[in-house]
Amino acid sequence: MHVVIALFTIYSVWRWADWKNWHKYHPTMLFILAGGLLYEYLTHDFNLWVFHPDFLYNHQITVIVYAVITMPLSVLLFLSRYPTTTKLKQLMYLLKWVFIYSVVELALQISGRISYGHGWTFWHSVMFDVMMFPMLRLHHTKPLRAYLLSLIIIVVLMWYFKVPLH
């Protein structure tokens, strides 16, 4: 299922993203890549969620596929089609992306390709997505604010879920 998600993401980006201006979105693509790898580093002995591989070799390879391919390409598609007309259209667009990510994660959970631990649940993931998509937009427009706010969010989440620092 992870491979199918990655391939569908590649297809979707090829089909609908603004490839001509990919460089405009590149910093935010790297921002989410770094965030995914930072999560893995900080929680390597205390995972809040774990991917269970299908065709991929193990959890780490699955994480790399998401961190290097799926998430950055999703950002390219998300940002390149972000509406600039009205706040209502922007809100609806954000909710659409939260819905898409939530449905995909629910499918992963039902198929046994993701499991949760240490108090994290599917609903925490949904709430994370509610926070993540505006943060991606903020990073695209005001990166320093996004870095500062991300640092605060990381500290709060690590404190709330009692993630140990070894």
Is the pTM here over 0.85, yes or no? yes
For the chain, 166 residues long, give each residue's pLDDT as a single digit of tens: 899 999 999 999 999 999 899 999 999 999 999 999 999 999 988 999 999 988 777 888 899 999 999 999 999 999 999 999 999 999 999 999 999 999 999 999 999 999 999 999 999 999 999 999 999 999 999 999 999 999 999 999 999 999 998 7
Burial class (CB in 10 A: 0-12, 13-18, 19+), 42: middle
* φ/ψ (deg, to 5) at 114: -145, 140
Give pLDDT, residue 55: 76
The helix-helix angle for 2-16 and 87-110 (nearest 10°) equals: 150
What's the pLDDT at 41? Answer: 92
